[in-house]
Structure 1
Amino acid sequence: MSQQGTWADDVVENQPLITTNEDGTKTVITYRINEKGQKIKVTQIVKEIIVKESVNKEVAKRKQWAKFGEEKNAAPGPDYRTTQVGEEVHLRLGTAWKTAEKEAEEKKAEESMLSANTRAITCRYCKGQHFSSKCPFKDSLASLEPDPMDESSEAGAAALASPSAPGKYVPRHLRNGGISASGESSRERDDSSTLKIANLNEMVDEDMLRNQLLYPFGPLVRVNVVRNRETGRSRGLAFAQFASESSAQRALDALDGKGFHSLILQVGWSKPKKPQQQ
Structure 2
Amino acid sequence: MATGSWADEEDELPPTRIIDNKDGTKLVISYKFNEDNKKVQITQKIKHTMIREHVHPAVAARRKWKKYGAEKDKPEGPDLSTTQIGDPVQLKLSFNMKQAELEEEEKQKAEQKSTTINVFKCRYCGGEHFTARCPYKETLGSMSQSTASNPPPEDESSGNAGGSGGSGYVPPHLRNRKPGEASSGGKFERDDSTTLRVTQLNEIVDEDMIRHELFGNFRSIQRVNLVRNRETGKSKGLAYVAFATISDAERALEMYNGKGYHNLILQLEWSKPKK
After TM superposition, the score normalised by the length of structure 2 is: 0.39
Structure with max Cα Rg: 1
Higher relative CO (CA 8 A, sep ≥ 6), structure 1 or 2?
A: 2
After TM superposition, the score normalised by the length of structure 1 is: 0.38
